[in-house]
Structure 1
Amino acid sequence: MDSSTDLFSIRRAGVLLHPTALPGAWGVLGASARRFVDFLAASGMTVWQTLPLGPTHRDLSPYQSLSAHAGNPALIDLAELVDSGLLNERELTPRGSPDRIGLIALAAERFSMGEGGSGLDRLSYQQFRADNADWLDDFCLFCALRECHNEPSWLDWPEPLKNRESGALRMFSEQESGRIERIGFEQFLFHHQWQALRAYAHARGILLFGDIPIFVAHDSADVWSHRSLFKLDDSGKPTVVAGVPPDYFSPDGQHWGNPLYHWQAMARDGYQWWLRRLESQRHLFDLIRIDHFRGFQAYWEIPAATPEPRLGYWVPGPGEHFLEACFRQLPGLPLVAENLGIISDDVEALRKRFELPGMTVMQFGFDGSPDNPHLLHNHHERDLVYTGTHDNDTTLGWYRSLDERTRHYVNSYLRTSGEGMPWPIIEAALQSVCFLAIVPMQDLLGLGTEARFNTPGTVVNNWVWQLDWNLCNDELSKHIAERVQQNRRAPER
């Protein structure tokens, strides 16, 4: 399926839903994800947008991953391994909390003995290891070290391991070879199941739309193995960290805490670390959003010793030099720029210089200014329109929280009484001239604040909302399909 050439020449509609929100007793990259693809197809939707797919820390944030390349092993559907002969039904009989690590280790042991089918063969595994060795070897070692040290930051490991002394790493690798092999096999399973899902989606006319956080977590395989590419002190601690000044999402700004890139060091080899990152994501998705695109033009740098975001300052990013390298090395790279928040003219000039689609969000349009770029009459064809994002309240929750004056403005602009919210907002997004309209699944279900997925600046009750299949009925699919068809967003499959 050739997605890159026609995605913005055809009007489409899609859904934003992170796979972790799918129900699944043994993981979701099997029957559960296929069921969601079927729901999308029945609803006339042709794009499934996710958040970043990497393995998370305990806070579950997909924007603070252990790796810029790896997949989240919690998504692997262990039930799929029964058909492959690597597990059996009895082993998947619930007995308290499932021991996922133990079951994958068992599957890995059987796989090493020559068992397995359905594409899970030694030759495919060896090819996967070879193709991804530039990040996978360090990732497996990093995760094995985390497990053996009860998951502290790599800063707290013994000095020889923290500083990657070859003798210490060799000794650890020999002692924990089984653990390291299991982690590599785990990534093989993730990528095998994801590619099977991608093929299933493509066969039904569904494109997959991914997301890359501009920054990476300090406690990640990437920072541990490439310290020279980040602004760290001699002990490995960040000297400055990422965040944003006060904006719509947070009136006090945000202190993200990610280490910032040493862009001059990255430029010396032509940004190879970033190119490898983009290439690995291109193998997973048909379209890729770059989160916080404005950071390539200028980023908010906060001294590590100062937690207040307001004390940060803007620092020039790599800009055109970086993006030219990306598109020269990876022609046709299907990128979307997340251009929300404080966006200056030079950021928009950079985005337009490389003809990258940007984002508009219906919820952001009603500040009273007729020039607001998020208002329907200011949209552009090659941009994307959203009712809301994963960082917003649901559209129904947002609407209910509005003051009376703003609610009246919304109703007047959209020529609605407000009855049936959030559908008047969804309908407006579908009517937009933007070629791609994305609606969070919670909005399609008409859910309120209780279904909000993330609240920026907080660390409690985020990323945990779960989809209820009972709400995804034929009546809803039919209603969505009618709205999609009426707004000419149903391309021929």
Structure 2
Amino acid sequence: MKNTKTVELKNRISPERTTGISIPLGALCTKKNTVIGEYTVLPELAKFCKKAGIGLIQLLPVNDTGTQSSPYSGLSAFALHPIYIDLTALPEFEALYAEDKKFKKDYDAFVKDNPYDGKKRYNYSAILNKKEELLRALYQTTDIAKTEKPSDELAKWIKKNPWIVNYAVYKNLKFKYMQASWKEWKKEDQNPGEKDIEKRWTDSKNQKENLFYAWTQMRANQQFKTACDAVKKAGIIIKGDMPILMNEDSCDAWALPGIFNQNLRAGSPVDNENPSGQNWGFPTYNWKYLKEHDYNWWKDRLKNAEQYYGAYRLDHILGFFRIWAIPTRDTTAILGHTAPYVSISRSTLNNAGFDDARIRWLSQPHVPTGAIEDITWNHESAVKILEQFANRLGNEELWLFKNTVQGDKDFYEADLSALCGQE
């Protein structure tokens, strides 16, 4: 009797070696998609792959990244990027293009002014802003916008995709604050909680705008799902690229703060090519919280991606087991540490022959006065600067940082001009 799971796997991904390509969706411009690669171009790529004997297409991440052009700087773990929506393939496009002279003029100018010739980078911000403007014009023609109520189609889609509530409310606020980080918003908008998010979602004053983001995601989902199904039908495996980490200015970090360690940032330790290590700026995960909630966020994320992909690439999969965690007040990764880690207690070191003074030498940075004096060229100024951040070690020209110093951002943010005689 055959193993059902083995047969299932063979039907999805061949165990044999397969030639594949890795590509960002935005690079797939065609005679039809002349501004930027879009979801609808994937079936055409599949035809090429079929002729060329290529069996797998690995796409770089296609999640919404907001104003950030890097596909690995996710604004949402679930939402697709609206920049890849094919406007001409939307059911609302044909009628508006034929009947509205302004829309026709704006769309034609958009295509004419943003030709992608493959010789230089496309203008990400200009394309994103104009495409959203055109999407809003198309949305205005829908009964959803006119009645400020979801259509039956959209209502069913929202029920199937409950993550859209957090995302729509977040995007609405993001627009209100001119795309500023949620950490710069008013206090009442920074961490509203589940009940308050639901209240904002159903608030009549926000309905039209909230539903715009829901409608946009529904249309993006329809285009991408249809395209991925066509690729699979052509016998080509489509592989998704899923970054393990989320941007600290993401919908998920805003709406679900318990999932993340907001006081730690992920990165990589010091190496030959990176003498200060790498600080990626993304919060690490609170795995204790995730475990207590049966890892539902991760399960939902994988389930959402499964509707598109036959295989996944989990970027930085090592982070599931060990990650380089950096205090949030540091800009470099020098003072990071692996998480999880096995600690050594002071008593263990004492029993091994290390007295407290030796432990202090090994575990705390000792700053000589001369290190600052080399910069200020003045002993008195160097002492004044050190007194602001450190305590002198006895009568020595050595200093230990005060407990109030949490990272190098404390130095960068301090005004030392007066202490350096530069008033």
Tell me if TM exceeds 0.5. Answer: yes
Using the TM superposition, give the Cα deviation of residue 5 of structure 1 relative to its aligned residue in structure 2, in angstroms.
4.0
Within 5 A, what are the aligned runs for 1:222-301? Answer: 222-231=252-261, 238-247=262-271, 250=274, 252-301=276-325
Please tell me whether residue 179 in structure 1 is matched to residue 209 in structure 2. Answer: yes
- Higher relative contact order, structure no. (Cα contacts within 8 Å, ≥ 6 residues apart): 1
Q: Distance in 2 between matches of 1:137 and 1:45?
A: 39
- Give the conservation status (yes or no) of the 8 Å contact 1:66–1:221: yes
- Give the conservation status (yes or no) of the 8 Å contact 2:267–2:281: yes
Q: Distance in 1 between matches of 2:296 and 2:231?
A: 31
Match of 1:203 among 233, 256, 259: 233
- Give the conservation status (yes or no) of the 8 Å contact 1:48–1:209: yes
Q: Distance in 2 between matches of 1:123 and 1:309?
A: 50
Q: Distance in 2 between matches of 1:183 and 1:189?
A: 10
Structure 1 partner of 2:42 = 33
Within 5 A, what are the aligned runs for 1:92-491? Answer: 92-94=107-109, 99-112=130-143, 122-133=151-162, 135-164=163-192, 170=199, 173-231=203-261, 238-247=262-271, 250=274, 252-316=276-340
Once the two structures are superposed, what CA deviation does each residue of 1:322-341 show, in whole Å capped at 9, x if it has no partner? Answer: xxxxxxxxxxxxxxxxxxxx
Letter in 2 for 1:303: P
Structure 2: tracts of 5 or more residues without a match: 1-7, 114-125, 342-423
Seen in structure 2, the aligned counterparts of structure 1 residues 185 and 30 have a Cα distance that, compared at 3 Å, is same
Q: Distance in 1 between matches of 2:90 and 2:52?
A: 30
Seen in structure 2, the aligned counterparts of structure 1 residues 300 and 132 have a Cα distance that, compared at 3 Å, is same
Seen in structure 2, the aligned counterparts of structure 1 residues 3 and 26 have a Cα distance that, compared at 3 Å, is farther
Q: Distance in 1 between matches of 2:294 and 2:246?
A: 19
Match of 1:43 among 52, 62, 73: 52
Seen in structure 2, the aligned counterparts of structure 1 residues 178 and 312 have a Cα distance that, compared at 3 Å, is same
SS of structure 2 residue aligned to 1:284: coil
- Give the conservation status (yes or no) of the 8 Å contact 1:161–1:168: no
SS of structure 1 residue aligned to 2:63: coil
Using the TM superposition, give the Cα deviation of residue 160 of structure 1 relative to its aligned residue in structure 2, in angstroms.
1.2
Higher helix share: 2
Seen in structure 2, the aligned counterparts of structure 1 residues 207 and 250 have a Cα distance that, compared at 3 Å, is farther
Once the two structures are superposed, what CA deviation does each residue of 1:99-122 show, in whole Å capped at 9, x if it has no partner? Answer: 32232123223332699xxxxx94
Q: Distance in 2 between matches of 1:154 and 1:83?
A: 32
TM norm structure 2:
0.66
Q: Distance in 2 between matches of 1:169 and 1:248?
A: 49
Letter in 2 for 1:183: Y
SS of structure 2 residue aligned to 1:181: helix
- Give the conservation status (yes or no) of the 8 Å contact 2:76–2:250: yes
TM norm structure 1:
0.57
Letter in 1 for 2:141: R
Seen in structure 2, the aligned counterparts of structure 1 residues 249 and 17 have a Cα distance that, compared at 3 Å, is farther
Q: Distance in 2 between matches of 1:265 and 1:183?
A: 29
Q: Distance in 1 between matches of 2:310 and 2:196?
A: 42
Q: Distance in 2 between matches of 1:162 and 1:83?
A: 35
Letter in 2 for 1:29: E
SS of structure 2 residue aligned to 1:79: helix
Please tell me whether residue 7 in structure 1 is matched to residue 21 in structure 2. Answer: no
Q: Which structure is larger by alpha-carbon Rg, 1 or 2?
A: 2
Using the TM superposition, give the Cα deviation of residue 41 of structure 1 relative to its aligned residue in structure 2, in angstroms.
1.7
SS of structure 1 residue aligned to 2:19: strand
Seen in structure 2, the aligned counterparts of structure 1 residues 196 and 167 have a Cα distance that, compared at 3 Å, is closer
- Give the conservation status (yes or no) of the 8 Å contact 2:265–2:327: yes
- Give the conservation status (yes or no) of the 8 Å contact 1:214–1:293: yes
- Give the conservation status (yes or no) of the 8 Å contact 2:268–2:278: yes
Cα RMSD after superposing both structures: 2.9
Using the TM superposition, give the Cα deviation of residue 251 of structure 1 relative to its aligned residue in structure 2, in angstroms.
5.4
